[in-house]
Amino acid sequence: MKSFQSLALIPLLILACNQEASIDLREYDVDALQDAMQSGELRSQDIVGHYLAEIARIDRAGPELRSIIEINPDAMQIAASLDEERTASGPRGPLHGIPVVIKANIDTGDRMHTTAGSLALATHRAPDDAFLVSRLRDAGAVILGKANLSEWANFRSARSSSGWSSIGGQTKNPYDPRRNPCGSSSGSAVSVAANLTALAIGTETDGSIVCPAGINGVVGIKPSLGLVSRDGIIPIAHSQDTAGPLARSVADAAILLTAISTADPSDPATASRPDGVVDYSAELSANALQGKRIGVLRSYWGAGDDPKAEAVFDQAIEAIRAAGAEIVDPIELDVSDMWDAEDEVLNYEFKADLDAYLQDSGAPVKSLEDVIRFNSENAAAVMPFFGQEIMEAAQQKGPLSEDEYLYALAESKRISQTVIDTALNANSLDAIIAPANSPAWLTDHINGDTTFGLSSSSYAAVSGYPSVTVPAGFVQGLPIGISFIAGAYSDKQLIDLAYAFEQASKARRAPEDL
C-alpha cells in the first residue's frame, strides 16, 4: 500500500520544494492581497509561490502539520493566466488570483484526486468540478490544493483520531503539534490558521467546520442547509451536509461564502433558499451588536466540564455586552431526544448517499460494502489505529423508504428546529451564542478522541440552521471559539454580529514558532 499512500503527495513535493520563501504574507487578508496585486507589488504567481514554499517548510518539514494532501499541479499556470487577465481587463472580483484550499472530499475535475483521505479512493479523479468549485473558478480563485481530513469525514469509527487519514496521515494543531486539530475539516482549518493559504473550504455534517475553526483559532461558517450546493461532495448525510468557508477573518469568510452560495438546479436543497444574490461581506459594521438581543446557551454538550473554556466564553459575553448588546442569560435548548434520532438518520443516509456518489462518480469502489471490504483486506494500512464499526452499522440499514428512517428524520428536524425557533421567538432574540470548543486535546492513536471536550455544533447541524464560529480567546495558548446561531437563512445577520464581535475582541492570534 505504500505506492498508494505516496501517490497524492508527489505533486506537492515536486512543486513546493522548488519555491523560495521570498515574501512574508502572514495574516494577509483578501483585501490586502488584492491591493498588492492591483498596485503591481505582487502577482497571483508570487502569492501561490509563497504559499507553496510555506507548505514545503511547515507542512512537510518543520512541525510537519500535514494539513495538505495534494497540491494542484496546475496552480502556478492558473495564477499566471489570471495575472494576464488582470493586466488585460482587470480583476473579476475579490477572489481574482486568491489561493483557496479545498477539502479532499470535494470533487475537482482536474489532475487532483478526490479521496476523502481513504486509500480506497487513492486513484479516484472526479469527472468534473463540484458546483461550488466551478463557482470559485468563475470568481477567479486559484484552487491551490486538497486539504487533509478525518478519513471519510470522520464517519468510520467512534474511536478515530480526528485529522487522521490513511492517505494524509495525522494533521497536527499549529498551536501545539502534539495536540489535535479536531475534524473533520482538520486540514482546511489548519492550513488557514498556519498561513499556508488565504482561504479554505471545509464541510460539515455535525461539527466538522465549527470544531476545527474554534480549536485552530480561525473563522468558520456553517451555512444554512441549501445555501451552498451539495453537488460533488462525498456525502455523509444529505439532510445535514454542507460546505462552508474557513478564513482568518469574518470578512474573508464572507467573501468566500458569497462566491459559493449560488443556487444549483441539480441540488433540490437550494430551491428553498431566498431569491436574489447576497453579498455577505457588504456593509460589515463594528456597531452591528448595538441594540441586539443575544441569548446565552448553557445546555450544550459537556456544559460545566471545562471551567477554563467557559471562563473565555464568559469574557466573550462581556465583550458582546460592552459592544451594546442586551444579554439574555441563560437560554436552555432541550434536545435530549434528538441524539438517537440523529444517529439513525446519519446511518441510513450514509449508506444510501455514499452508494449513489460512488456509482455516479466513476470511483474504483462502487458501494459502502466495497469500501468495508477494501478496508478489511488492507487493514494494516487503512486501520492501524481504529476500525470501521460505524460503516458496518450503516451497511446494515435498509432503504430510505423504511419507517424507522422517516420517523427519525422527522423527529430530529422537529426537535432541533422547534427548540431554536421557540427560544428565538419567546425571548425576541437576534442570535444565540455558545462556546465552540474546549482546548485541543493531546492526539492519541490508541484511545482516539476520548478526551474530546464541550461542543455546541449539533443544534445548527441537525436543524439545518446556520452558525458562525469566531476566535474568542485562549486557554494556555490554545484557541477557544464562540459560535453565533440563529434561524434558517439568517446567515447574513450572523455574519454581521460575528464581525462586530471580532472587531470588539480582536482575539485572533497567529500560531508562534512556525
* Candidates 157, 186, 208, 457; catalytic one: 208
CA–CA dist 14, 139 (Å, integer): 28
pLDDT at 3 over 80: no
Pair type for strands 199-204 and 219-222: unpaired
pLDDT of residue 275: 86
pLDDT of residue 23: 82
pLDDT of residue 480: 98
Grid coordinates standing for 359? 456509482
DSSP for 216-243?
TT-EEEEPPTTTS--TTB--S-TTT-EE
* Candidates 166, 184, 455, 457; catalytic one: 184
pLDDT at 265 over 60: yes
Q: Which pLDDT tens digit goes with each residue over 342-382?
A: 999 999 999 999 999 999 999 999 999 999 999 999 999 99
From residue 319, how far is each of 218, 255, 482, 509 by CA, in Å? 18, 25, 12, 17
Range of the domain at 80: 2-267+287-500
pLDDT of residue 17: 40
Q: Which pLDDT tens digit goes with each residue over 95-137?
A: 999 999 999 999 999 999 999 999 999 999 999 999 999 999 9
Read off the pLDDT of each residue in 13-32 and give the average, rounded to a whole number: 70
If one counts the domains in the chain, the total is 1
pLDDT of residue 84: 98
Q: Which pLDDT tens digit goes with each residue over 281-337?
A: 999 999 999 999 999 999 999 999 999 999 999 999 999 999 999 999 999 999 999
Grid coordinates standing for 500? 462586530
Domain annotation covers residue 60: yes
Query: How many Å separate Cα 333 from the centre of its chain?
Result: 25
Q: Is 361 a residue of the active site? A: no
Domain annotation covers residue 279: no
Among residues of the chain, what percentage have pLDDT more than 90? 93
pLDDT of residue 277: 85
The CATH number of whichever domain residue 317 belongs to comes to 3.90.1300.10
Listed residue (249, 241, 296) closest to 432, CA to CA: 296
Amino acid at 68: I
Phi, psi for residue 176 in degrees, rounded to 5? -165, 100
pLDDT of residue 77: 98
Amino acid at 497: L
pLDDT at 419 over 90: yes
- Is the separation of the CB atoms in 200 and 246 below 8 Å? yes
pLDDT at 13 over 60: no
Q: What is the pTM of this model?
A: 0.96
Domain annotation covers residue 272: no
Query: How many Å separate Cα 464 from the centre of its chain?
Result: 15
- Is the separation of the CB atoms in 75 and 7 below 8 Å? no
- Is the separation of the CB atoms in 342 and 500 below 8 Å? no
SS3 assignment, position 244: strand
- Is the separation of the CB atoms in 250 and 498 below 8 Å? yes
CA–CA dist 243, 229 (Å, integer): 8
pLDDT of residue 22: 63
Domain annotation covers residue 256: yes
Grid coordinates standing for 173? 494543531
Pair type for strands 467-475 and 478-485: antiparallel
CA–CA dist 224, 241 (Å, integer): 10
List, in sequence order, every residue forming a beta bridge with 481; answer none if it has no partner.
471
Domain annotation covers residue 276: no
- Is the separation of the CB atoms in 455 and 299 below 8 Å? no
User: How buried is residue 71: exposed, middle or buried, by Cβ count under 10 Å (0-12/13-18/19+)?
Assistant: buried
CA–CA dist 416, 337 (Å, integer): 10
pLDDT range class, residue 417, cuts 50, 70, 90: very high
Q: Is 292 a residue of the active site? A: no
Amino acid at 176: D
User: How buried is residue 392: exposed, middle or buried, by Cβ count under 10 Å (0-12/13-18/19+)?
Assistant: middle
Q: Which pLDDT tens digit goes with each residue over 205-259?
A: 999 999 999 999 999 999 999 999 999 999 999 999 999 999 999 999 999 999 9
- Is the separation of the CB atoms in 345 and 416 below 8 Å? no
- Is the separation of the CB atoms in 326 and 377 below 8 Å? no
pLDDT at 429 over 90: yes
Grid coordinates standing for 242? 454542507
Residue with cell 462556546: 435
Average pLDDT, the chain: 95
Instruction: Say how many C-beta atoms besides its own lie within 10 A of residue 401's C-beta.
Output: 8
Domain annotation covers residue 22: yes
pLDDT range class, residue 5, cuts 50, 70, 90: very low
Q: Is 266 a residue of the active site? A: no
* Candidates 103, 172, 292, 397; catalytic one: 103
Read off the pLDDT of each residue in 53-60 and give the average, rounded to a whole number: 97
